[in-house]
A and B are shown apart, each in its own frame.
Chain A
Amino acid sequence: MSEDRNEMPEPEVDTRRREIAGVLTGEFQSPSPDQVLENVLENVLLFLTSRRDRNAVSLVCKSWYRAEALTRSDLFIGNCYAVSPRRAIERFRRVRSVVLKGKPRFADFNLMPPNWGAYFTPWVTAMATSYPWLEKVYLKRMFVTDRDLELLAQSFPAFKELVLVCCDGFGTSGLAGIASKCRQLRVLDLIEDEVTDDEVDWISCFPESGTCLESLIFDCIECPINFEALERLVARSPSLRKLRLNRYVSIGQLYRLMIRAPQLTHLGSGSFSSSDIVAQGDQEPDYISAFAACKSLVCLSGFREIIPDYLPAIYPVCANLTSLNFSYANINTEQLKSVICHCHKLQIFWVLDSVCDEGLQAVAATCKELRELRVFPIDAREDSEGPVSEVGLQAISEGCRKLQSILYFCQRMTNAAVIAMSKNCPDLVVFRLCIMGRHRPDHITGEPMDEGFGAIVMNCKKLTRLAISGLLTDKAFSYIGKYGKLVRTLSVAFAGDSDMGLKYVLEGCPKLQKLEIRDSPFGDAALRSGLHHYYNMRFLWMSSCRLSRQGCEEIARAMPGLVVEVIRNENEEDKDGFEILYMYRSLESPRIDAPEFVTIL
């Protein structure tokens, strides 16, 4: 999100500046020293943007707390249930931008029953009256209704940016409201949301006279759009830099948009496929020259239904690309090679495993600046073929020494390759390895994957996020507890032998914030071992582990500041049985919007 510091400040702050100026020139009656200090502080704090720094500032003393609260313009709420809208609004009066996160990540994988919560409604309702100058809203995993969007569009005349990530509950009619009423809108980014098709032509709802749109991202929308209206929209949006189309836009249509917007820096190419019906005699447009004309293009994605014949069209932009997302493109090794050989500046690369180990070797050979790699499975089942393996991982580790973040799905892996990566890529901050077959050992030695992950936590001194998989004993957890001193997020699935595993982590990782565990043999005793730490965490998720209701109740009793939710499967007959423990710190009493299958202890 862009920070716009060049805006005219609010009237109150201006007054204070004048007061200070007056003090310095001796013209005004001097206010008390405390007042002066507070005024000065506020003006200094305007420049403080990091929320961790701000949190620290607010703890110094009451006066600093007040000053900080008055000057905080960016509100970040990592768990929408940790604090109520009213409390947040009472403390921070002058907020311009809000980040709200709702459901825990495992909800993405259908582990949470629907209608669990994370409703945007109470927030937008409260903000509508209290934050008239609100400009930016960023929501992740929240339930947002069309009415919420309507209210948002009506209530904030200066509204500029709406970013919705992994949200659901709304449809194209809600988008129509945003498009038509938010006259200052610069950013409308819909990323991996579930958007209902209300058969409303929302693209036509943008102001006719021209827009200030800089970013329009709608690649997740699974319904057709009015292309002619989109073409006109692009033509009257001279500031547009980021455009990500959905799969209902054909390559011919893409061409028409590209020639109108050669200034684009980020492009999501839609289907990258001919439309369903193409006249046989027709000459296809010169796609290559359209791409060549986009001299500022640095980020390319889309390719949702790619016909690989069209790949050569992107060659002209490859040399400038810093980010390339092929994770929806079913392409093979050769097809990838033809593209990647030009991508010397690439820093972010997402791809499907259809390119095989050999494709990854090609990446390693060319992309020396690579910072982030994600390899997704084209066939996400436990017993699928698995075209990538330790060979690809090893190659990447040897070729891409600056790697900081990796997500790698595979069927076969070895400790040796993981150890190699731990040594070759010391800058790793995020290491997520998903061996898709549960409990799979090192496929060459037959050993558990303990040593590999152990090496990662040992050698990658900057590591903050880790996801483990494969056959893992408590030893792996002892390594994490011993060396993972900076780890903030840990994902565990089908791992460990006993309570000791979880204990190692809860006792050893002081920075742990988010812990999500499924199908691992950790019980009540292990849960108890984290009592000293749970208030420092954003949440703990444990599903299909060895917990009992009593054990959870114990925690709830011991820690009143924690909300302990036990979530049943909707079909579950046994009212005492539960599938999921989800607990989080909160300043509020337990939420009242929980559905029937959630029990708050």
Chain B
Amino acid sequence: MQDFKFDTMPSNTADQSPDSSTTGMSLKDTELTLGLPGEAQVVIVGGKSCSKRGYSDTVDFRFRCCSGESSAKAEQVDWPGNEISGPGKAPDSKAQVVGWPPVRSVRKKALKSCKYVKVAVDGAPYLRKVDLEVHRSYQQLLMALETMFDCFTISSNDLEESKIMNPVNGAEYVPTYEDKDGDWMLVGDVPWNMFVESCKRVRLMKSSEAIGLAPRTPSCTSTT
């Protein structure tokens, strides 16, 4: 496994420097609202010292304001409507013709699901992997994660409202991901397709550690 680095790479939007006021606001905004835990879940307790495996000694999150980067991206596609809608790619302009282009269906099928990323959960001893191409929305992804790591419950249907919680120890988790540039972002900040394109791995991080991650600021989305 790669060492995770949490200092951001230089980027064009880095002029949005860390800002303590927004940092303070971030956790509340990123918090998924409370939902009652579901049925009794098996708890995977981290017996091994896995919480920081592969991570740098100090986790240093640089704040990235989503208003700089993701609003630019968000312009292109409606959001959060994107979550409910389909793949979000432009609808086919022509009807697809049978057998064209001439690619064998075995190959087409094999390439359909080809975006595998590792999923780590703080405190769980196991890494899983998930195929992002199979899912169409953040909803579906969260549901899949819930099935995979059955120590969690994810409450409601709306990403804004749902919360990932371990009912046994009461810990709350925030889904985060590492993007192409090596930055750790909150899952749900960018339109689904963009997320699939740029996500390298997913980590369900304990809320207490998610300080400093880019907040899911509703203000970004209201501009679109």
A-side interface residues toward B, CB under 8 Å?
Answer: 106, 108-111, 192, 194, 220, 247, 273-274, 276-281, 284, 304-307, 309, 327-328, 330, 352, 376-378, 380-383, 409, 434, 436, 438, 493-494, 518-519
For the complex, what is the distance from the CA of A306 to the CA of B98, rounded to whole Å? Answer: 29
Chain A residues positioned under 8 Å from B124 (CB to CB)? 280
Contact of B53 with A by CB under 8 A: yes
CB atoms of B116 and A305 under 8 A apart: yes
Looking at the assembled complex, report how far the CB atom of A108 sits from the nearest CB atom of chain B, in whole angstroms.
5
Q: Which B residues touch A378, using CB under 8 A?
A: 111, 114
Shortest B202–chain A CB gap in Å is: 13
Query: Is the CB–CB distance between A330 and B99 below 8 Å?
Result: no
Contact for B126 among A220, A280, A377, CB less than 8 A: A280
- Closest-by-CB residue of B relative to A303 is B114
Write 25 A-B pairs (CB below 8 A) sorted by A numbering. Answer: A108-B102, A108-B104, A109-B99, A110-B98, A111-B98, A274-B129, A278-B126, A278-B127, A280-B46, A280-B53, A281-B48, A304-B110, A305-B116, A307-B117, A309-B2, A328-B107, A330-B114, A381-B101, A382-B96, A383-B90, A383-B93, A409-B101, A434-B101, A438-B100, A494-B100
- Judge whether B96 and A381 touch: CB under 8 Å: yes
- Known: A110-B99, A280-B46, A518-B99; 5 extra A-B contacts, CB below 8 A, are A108-B104, A274-B129, A280-B48, A376-B103, A519-B97
A494 proximity list for chain B (CB < 8 A): 100
Q: How far is the CB of A223 from chain B (nearest CB, A)?
A: 14
Closest to B131 in A: A305
Q: Which residue of B lies closest to A274 (CB)?
A: B129
Q: Give the distance in Å from the alpha carbon of A111 to the alpha carbon of B101 in the complex.
A: 12
A273 and B101 form a contact (CB under 8 A)? no
Q: Which residues of the partner chain B approach A327 to less than 8 Å between Cβ atoms? A: 107
Cα distance A279–B98 in the bound complex, in angstroms: 44
- Shortest C-beta distance, A192 to chain B (Å), equals 6
Q: Write out the residue numbers on chain B whose beta carbons fall within 8 Å of the beta carbon of A493.
A: 100, 102
Give complex CA distance A163, B160 in Å: 55
Nearest CB in chain B to that of A328: its residue:
B110
Which A residue's beta carbon lies closest to that of B133? Answer: A330
Q: A279-B125, A281-B53 are in contact. Are A382 and B99 (CB under 8 A)?
A: no
Q: Nearest residue in A to B113 (C-beta to C-beta)?
A: A305
Complex Cα distance, B115 from A330, in Å, reads: 7
Complex: A340 Cα to B212 Cα, angstroms: 39
Which chain B residues in 128-182 approach chain A with CB under 8 Å? 128-129, 131
A106 to B101, CA, bound (A): 11
Q: Which of B50, B106, B118 contacts A281 (CB 8 A)?
A: B50
Contact of B103 (CB < 8 Å), options: A192, A194, A377: A377
Question: B74 an interface residue at 8 Å Cβ cutoff?
Answer: no
**B98 & A273 in contact (Cβ 8 Å cutoff):** no
Please judge, given known A-B contacts A194-B106, A377-B101, A409-B103, whether A274 and B111 are in contact too, CB under 8 Å.
no
The answer to whether B100 and A382 touch across the interface, beta carbons within 8 angstroms, is yes
Whether the Cβ atoms of A110 and B101 lie closer than 8 Å is no
- The A-contacting residues of B in range 14-73, CB under 8 angstroms, are 46, 48-50, 53
Q: Specify the chain B residue showing the minimal Cβ separation from A411.
A: B101
Chain A residues with Cβ below 8 Å from B115 are 330
